[in-house]
Amino acid sequence: MANGGFETGSVYLAERFEDLFKKYDYIVGPSASCVAFVKENHPRLLAEAKKGECTAAKHIYDITEFLHDVIKPEKFPSKFPHKVSIHNSCHGVRELGLSSPSELTVPYFNKIRSLLERVPGITVVEPKRVDECCGFGGLFAVEESEVSACMGRDKVKDHMSTGAEYITGADSSCLMHMNGVIEREHYPIQTIHYLEILSAQL
């Protein structure tokens, strides 16, 4: 809603979010783009509307951040004997810092990979263009559907070039977009949220 320019109408939702979650020590979300929006935009929306402080932004975590930085499990009681290619989403990389961005000269890190490598039997790889956009981008996929579809095909092919059986990641919207491409083009690869891998066979 706010990404479409309806910021005034979004203030109520930010207030509602604040009210619903203020009693919790941690707020954990399974989608990097949603968590990033709360962290990066709710404080500004509430401040500009003079609706008070946004405390939720200080306590919200993407599930990857929460597992990797707060819980810090040494291993997972799951098994996944498959080869997976990690999709590093735009919001996850550049707003939440889930992995090192390719455009910066910084030491490599990837929190999703670190968690996945604690699962017995798994083989984890990344595509050549490690953090290139899949083309979804919410409204972008609607307003520029042909470009979005082309970017999606390119991204899926990049993942397929790794020989992976699955594309995995932390952002459901990206996985949904690429799954649409896969089904439409009949590509021999599947998508799976990495939480499904961490909980496999539980």
Q: How many CB atoms sit inside 10 A of residue 176's CB?
A: 13
Q: How many CB atoms sit inside 10 A of residue 184's CB?
A: 11
Query: What is the rounded CA–CA span in Å between residue 30 and residue 33?
Result: 9
The answer to whether residue 57 scores a pLDDT higher than 70 is: yes
Residue 18's pLDDT is 94
Query: What is the rounded CA–CA span in Å between residue 170 and residue 192?
Result: 9
Chain-centroid distance of CA 141 in Å reads: 17
What is the band of 202 on the pLDDT scale with cuts at 50, 70, 90?
low
User: Domain 74-198, CATH 3.40.50.11810 — does that match?
Assistant: yes
In the numeric block, which tokens belong to residue 180? 């649409």
The pLDDT tens digits of the residues spanning 72-119 come to 999 998 999 999 999 999 999 999 999 999 999 999 999 999 999 999
Which residues of the chain form CATH 3.40.50.11810?
74-198
Q: How many CB atoms sit inside 10 A of residue 15's CB?
A: 17
Residue 1's pLDDT is 57
